[in-house]
Amino acid sequence: MNSRYIAWAIGLAALVALPFVYREPYHLHILVLILIWSFAYTAWSIMGRFGLVSLGHGGFMGVGAYVTALLWNHLGVSPWIGIPISMVAAGILALVVAYPCFRFRITGHYFVLVTLALSGIVLQVITATRDYTGGSLGYTPNRARSGSGLMALQFDDKITWYLIALGVWVLGLLIWRWVDRSMSRYAMEAISEDEDAAGAAGVNVTAEKLKITLISALMTALAGALYCQYQMFISPDTVSGIAVSLQMVFAVIVGGLYVSLGPTVGAIITILLAEVLRIGFGTKAVGWDNLVYGVLLVIFIIFLPKGILGSVLDRLKTQPKPSGTK
């Protein structure tokens, strides 16, 4: 066990030291994107691993990004205050939709369809309020005056952003680990097996599910807000809607749903894939990355439902005793 902590410490130290040694801006940019999206995917997997498959996370991400940017542009509220407000907004949205779902036992297909509609509706609202949000043309937070970058959470250099993204990513992993070690995990696993039995055994089914959903939604909104602050441009299609929700599901399933680093592996694979296609095909790549995503998603679900990292870890675990005790 101890060697595990040491490995983590060395890995983390290497990641922190990386930008001071290696400063190629494009590669740092890709790393920041991978870290931010990894955090979002981790947020999704906190719910998804217990069978609570939500396609509404595109909605939470959109709320996080747009509320932060709108507060900054229209009211001059600093993102330091705006991000918590946007997280609260996404949390309230999650509770309003999730409470009736959980209270009245809307599970499985029904839950997926309701959350799917949620992300579709958030997209519609952003498009409909085009006078404020710029509609489908996208939205840019106002540039802060020079010198007040810290207050506006806008930084020009990639190293600062890399360190912020790294910190948030580690936070995501810590939350994942905390849930993994908590009583909630056992409660949620019992619920995903059989709700009635879990309820009879004294698990407060509605409260446990709401807790997990709330954590997941808050994290997703934070990821959306950070993405907005980093990219300085958001459009309804990149931070909200069904496509973003499915992208999260896809990355997590490819990486591995049941291991803590699975979403990160998924983010690395999907973002590198998109970048390689973009550079390889240039402007002709429009659509191709999603086409490859879609085909891979179907193939993975049919042949490798545990994901790449999950399957590799399983293989490693069984290898020391090849005689095959089950």
Partner 1 sequence: MQAFLDIFDIYLLEAVVNGILLGGVLALLALGLNLIFGVIDVTWICYAELVMIGMYGMYYMVQVFGLPYWVAAPFAILLVAALGAALHYIVIAPLLTAPPINQLLATGGVLFILQSFATVAFGIDFRNLGIRLPVLAIGEMHFSYSRLLAFAAALVGMLAIYFFMKRTYTGTAIRAVAQDRQIMSLMGVDTKRIYLITSALGGALAGLAACLLVLQYDVHPFVGLSFGPITFLICVLGGLGNFVGGFIAAFVFAQIISLGGLFSDLEWGYVLAFAFFIVMMFIRPAGLFARRS
What residues make contact with partner 1 under the rule CB under 8 A? 51, 53, 55, 96-97, 100-101, 103-106, 108-110, 112-114, 116-118, 120-121, 123-125, 127-128, 241-243, 246, 249-250, 253, 286-291, 293-298, 301-302, 305
Alpha-carbon radius of gyration of the chain? 20
Tokens, residue 170: 């580690």
CB 315 within 8 A of CB 263: no
**Residue 257 phi/psi, 5° resolution?**
-80, -30
In the complex with partner 1, which residue's Cβ is closer, 129 or 204?
129
Name the minimum Å distance from CB 300 to partner 1. Answer: 8
Q: Which residue has the tokens 């995501």?
A: 172
Name the minimum Å distance from CB 137 to partner 1. Answer: 14
Number of helical (H) and strand (E) elements in the chain, helices listed first = 16, 0
The C-alpha angle 201, 206, 208, rounded to 5 degrees, equals 75
Name the minimum Å distance from CB 94 to partner 1. Answer: 12
Distance in angstroms between the alpha carbons of the first and the last residue of the chain: 23
Name the minimum Å distance from CB 102 to partner 1. Answer: 10
Name the minimum Å distance from CB 288 to partner 1. Answer: 6
Cβ-proximal residues to 266 (8 Å cutoff; 6+ apart), any chain: 38, 41, 250, 251, 252, 253, 254, 255, 256, 307, 308
In the complex with partner 1, which residue's Cβ is closer, 23 or 130?
130
> Which residues are paired to 139 by β-bridges?
234
In the complex with partner 1, which residue's Cβ is closer, 34 or 285?
285
In the complex with partner 1, which residue's Cβ is closer, 31 or 52?
52
CB 255 within 8 A of CB 269: yes
Name the minimum Å distance from CB 295 to partner 1. Answer: 6
In the complex with partner 1, which residue's Cβ is closer, 12 or 295?
295
In the complex with partner 1, which residue's Cβ is closer, 224 or 241?
241
Tokens, residue 268: 């690395």
